[in-house]
Amino acid sequence: MSVTPAPETTDQTHRDSACAAADPRIDALVTELIGRVADKWTMVLLELLEERGEMRFTQIARAVPGISQKMLTQTLRRMERDGMVCRTVHAVVPPRVDYRLTSLGESLGEAFCGVWLWAEQHLARVEQARREFDER
Amino acid sequence: MSVTPAPETTDQTHRDSACAAADPRIDALVTELIGRVADKWTMVLLELLEERGEMRFTQIARAVPGISQKMLTQTLRRMERDGMVCRTVHAVVPPRVDYRLTSLGESLGEAFCGVWLWAEQHLARVEQARREFDER
DNA sequence: CCGTATCCTTGCCGATACTG
DNA sequence: CAGTATCGGCAAGGATACGG
C-alpha cells in the first residue's frame, strides 16, 4: 500500500471519536498489520488452535477442509514469524511437529473472538440483506 | 471453499472452549462470512465511516490513499449488499452520493475495534518477533 | 510425516477510456 | 461527480513431484 501522509484539509470533526491512532504514520503501520493479520486462513487457524490447543501439522490439515498444504505451511510460517505461534520439532521418526499459540497469538485470538461472535449472531441478517439487494 | 462435513474421529477435548459454533455447517457459513468481511478494504472503510459518519464518494476516495476507484466502488457495493452501509443518491447536478453505516455496519465496526486496538498495542512486539525470526 | 521446489492456471486489481 | 466497461500484468494459490 502506498503510504502517502495525506494532508487532509477537509472536515476533521468526528476525528478521534473511535479507535484510530492520532499519528497517520502509526495508522498506516497498523493498517498494514491488519491487512496481513486479517487474512482468512490466519483467522481460521487462530480460532482452531485456540479451541484445540497444541496440534500437529496433519491434524490441522485435516481439521481445516479446503486449505491446501501450501497455504497451510505458508500461513503457519507467517504466524510463527509474527510471533503468534510456537513451532516445536520433535527429533523422532516419523518426524512430528507441534504448533501452539503464544500468548501474543492468544491475545489476538481473543480480539478476533468478537468478530466471530458478531458473524454468528448476525449471519441471518446479512443473508437476508443480500437476498433483498439481489432482487433488484 | 469446499464444505466437507468432516467426520473428525480425533481428539474432541478442548471443544466448546472458545467461541466456535457447535454445528459444523454453521461453522462453515460463519467462516465464509468472516472471509468476506475480513477483507482489508472493508475493515478500513468500516473504520473510516465509523470515525467520520456520513461521507460522499470522492471524500472517501481522498481519505483512503492507495485504494483505486474500482476497489472503492466494489467494496462499497459489497458492503451495501451485505447491509453494512446505506447508499443515498441525491438527484442533483453534479450528482451526489452519500454513504453511511447502518446499525449492522456499526456493530461490526465495534467488533473489529478490538482487533484495531490489538494491532496498535502489539505492533512493536510483532515487529520485534519478525526481526528475531528473520536473522536465522 | 513434514515440509520445499516447480510449474501453471486463475482471477485480482490497477490503468484507462467512456457514460449519465 | 459517480460511476461502468474493458484490457492486461502479475501474483496468489492449487497440483504435483521430490527431499530430510
| pLDDT score at B35 | 77
Q: How distant, in Å, are the alpha carbons of A46, B48, B122 from that of A79? A: 9, 27, 14
| pLDDT score at A55 | 98
| pLDDT score at A96 | 96
Q: Is the pLDDT of residue A8 over 60?
A: no
Burial of B122 (0-12, 13-18, 19+ CB in 10 A): buried
Q: Which residue of A has its CA nearest to B108?
A: A118
- Determine the nucleotide nearest to B41 by Cα–C1' distance: C13
Average pLDDT, chain A: 82
What pTM did the predictor assign? 0.80
**Site from B11, B123, B126 to mutate, A interface, most A CB atoms within 10 angstroms:** B126
Domain assignment of residue B96, given as a range: 21-135
CATH of residue A55: 1.10.10.10
Going by the DSSP 8-state scheme, the letter that residue A14 receives in this structure is T
Residue A7 lies in a domain: no
Residue A40 lies in a domain: yes
User: What order do you get walking across the sheet with B96-101 strand by strand?
Assistant: B55-56, B96-101, B85-90
Q: Is the pLDDT of residue B15 over 60?
A: no
Residue A10 lies in a domain: no
Burial of A90 (0-12, 13-18, 19+ CB in 10 A): exposed
Q: Cell numbers at residue B116, please? A: 484495531
- What does the pLDDT average to over A41-66? 93
| pLDDT score at A23 | 63
Residue B29 lies in a domain: yes
